[in-house]
Amino acid sequence: MSDRPPTDTTVGSTGDGTGGGTGDARRPVAGATDARTRPAPDEVRATARLVVDVVHAAARPGHSDAPAGSIHGGAGGATPLSPQAVRAAVHVYEHGRASIGGVAGGIGVSVGWASRLVEELEARGYVVRERDPADRRVVWVRLSEGAIADVEGAYRWRDDAVARALAGLSADERAAVRRFMGALVEELTPDAD
């Protein structure tokens, strides 16, 4: 038996495990964890740094194993697309077509910035703009035919990189990685209130 007092992480708890207090309902406090599973601050910082490193590594242009000419690799010495433009292209790919406002909302940037990203993609031949025949004020963005294969190649590159990273882990470890990544996305996603 532990000599540590019980930890109660519910609203209205006095912290003594009895559940007493002034809360109106016994519900978990957001972000609260049992003291036995709460990571140390240095572990949190090291993990957060690795998350940032993963994001930067995935967005970094010029991957040596990315398909030639891909959105990550750049064609024949061409400057690769910016990471934000890659995100915009992937968003359009995932939705088939999108308005500028849809791109902005989908990747978390302003409409003005999304417009600049679409201009970058259009100048490089990745997207085509089309007016909506039913409402000429609406402009749809879709990937060009050549860009579809390019984005699909980037997905294959990403999936292959993830497969290589997961290869040495057991099924339980892979499940723990997915749980962690899912929980992190949930924690970092603003409430839609």
pLDDT at 75 exceeding the cut of 60: no
Task: Tell me which fold the domain 83-146 belongs to.
Answer: Arc Repressor Mutant, subunit A (1.10.10)
Query: How many whole angstroms from its chain centre is CA 131?
Result: 30
Q: In what order do the strands lie in the sheet with 139-143?
A: 98-99, 139-143, 127-131
What percent of the chain shows pLDDT beyond 90? 35
The secondary structure element, H or E, covering residue 122 is helix 111-123
Q: Is 52 or 142 the better-scoring residue by pLDDT?
A: 142
Domain positions in the chain are 83-146
The whole model's pTM is what? 0.56
Of 13-22, 48-57, 73-82, 174-183, which one has max mean pLDDT?
174-183
pLDDT tens column, 124-136: 999 999 999 999 9
Task: Kindly give the interhelix angle for 100-107 and 111-123, rounded to the nearest 10 degrees.
Answer: 110
Q: How far apart (Å, rounded) are the C-alpha atoms in residues 55 and 176? A: 19
pLDDT at 10 exceeding the cut of 50: no
**Looking at residue 10, what DSSP letter applies?**
B
Q: Kindly report the backbone phi and psi dihedral angles of residue 80, in degrees, each rounded to the nearest multiple of 5, phi listed first.
A: -65, 160
Assigned token pair, 27 = 């519900």
The secondary structure element, H or E, covering residue 92 is helix 83-95
pLDDT at 65 exceeding the cut of 60: no
Q: How far apart (Å, rounded) are the C-alpha atoms in residues 16 and 9? A: 10
User: Which residue matches tokens 């294969």?
Assistant: 149
Q: Quote the pLDDT of residue 71.
A: 57
What percent of the chain shows pLDDT beyond 70? 70
Q: Quote the pLDDT of residue 59.
A: 65
